[in-house]
Amino acid sequence: MSFKCSIGLHTWNHCTCTKCGKKRNEQHDLANDCEKCSVCGATFENLHDWSRDCQKCSKCGKKREAEHDWKNNCEKCSKCSVTRSNMHQLVDGICQICGHGSFTDVDGKEYKTIKIGSSVVMAENYVRIPSEGKHWAYEDDDKNVVKNGYLYDYETAVKIAPKGWHLPSKEEWENALKTLGDNGKEIFEHIKVGGSSGFDNIFSGWRNARGAFNSLGASAHYWSITKEGDKEAWHIKVSAYSGQTELEKSDKHLGFSVRYFRD
């Protein structure tokens, strides 16, 4: 051992002294492999970054055999950001495999679509002005419609479903959402904006029967067609505060958002 090494003045090449061979557990060279030092051979676990490509680490470039997940979107992997082209099998603008695509209503408004479980679902809040029935822009300000859509009472939401679409039942909501998680918090993560389902929930608030608007940016409420007695119906509630998604029943005169399911 050299004199310098004996007094602690090592000549380090990353983790190894070039003079005496001493090792240290820091400054490993992981440039070529995030999980194996090219100087000393030390190995590590769970350091690769597969978030941008399931098959190639974005930090070191190491490749692995792994399958992309095209289940939710035939052209975008749900586990990483890899995309591909011309894979959708479109019929009337909607992919018959993954449900991604778009639907255009009689007014020319286009709505993105997705598939959750076996149901093809609108991925945007409905914005059509009905010829009859009750609808409201939040705080009666049309500027809020662009992002949040309109709020509808129950009867109107049932009647104005476009041809080929319907207000989902409580059971349909349950069956779709349970494919995303075992509890309300898991489901919340999947349906939030940017979540893996593509639902892109909007916290568009609600209107009470007395005309007051509530909870813009704090909660979302989506009607189901399932009634509970004469005065109430079930809906999906998504809370920004609790991070929960749950079924509730409410007065049919309230104003909630609408996402239609395809027939």
Q: Which of 232, 147, 246, 131 is nearest to 193 (CA)?
A: 147
Q: State yes or no: pLDDT of 4 exceeds 90.
A: no
Cα gap 194→190, rounded to integer Å: 8
Global pTM value: 0.82
Structure-token pair, residue 60: 């070191």
Confidence of residue 117 (pLDDT cuts 50, 70, 90): very high
pLDDT value of residue 75: 92
Full DSSP string of 56-117: B-TTT--B-------SS-TTB-SSSS-B-SS---EETTEETTT--EEEE-TTS-EEEEEEET
177 touches 169 (CB < 8 A): no
pLDDT at position 253 over 80: yes
pLDDT in tens, 62-92: 999 999 999 889 999 988 889 999 999 999 9
Percent of the chain with pLDDT over 70: 100
Please give the pLDDT value at position 3: 81
pLDDT value at residue 71: 86
The pLDDT, as a whole number, for residue 38 is 92
Q: What is the residue type of 120?
A: V
What pLDDT does residue 232 have?
98
Residue 189 confidence class, pLDDT cut points 50, 70, 90: very high
User: Residue written as tokens 């930090």?
Assistant: 59
Query: How does pLDDT run across 12-27, given as a tens digit for each residue?
Result: 899 998 888 889 989 9
- Sheet arrangement for strand 165-166: 90-91, 94-95, 101-104, 110-116, 119-122, 261-262, 165-166
Helix count and strand count (H, E) for the chain: 5, 16
**Does pLDDT of 127 surpass 90?**
yes
Residues 199-242: tens digit of each pLDDT: 999 999 999 999 999 999 999 999 999 999 999 999 999 999 99
Asked if pLDDT for residue 263 goes beyond 80, the answer is yes
pLDDT for the residue 81: 80
Check whether 1 has a pLDDT greater than 80.
no
CA distance 66 to 42: 25
Please say if the pLDDT value at position 194 is more than 80. Answer: yes
pLDDT of residue 7: 80
Q: Kindly list the domain boundaries of the chain, sorted by start residue.
A: 1-66, 90-262
Q: What is the mean pLDDT of residues 138-150?
A: 96
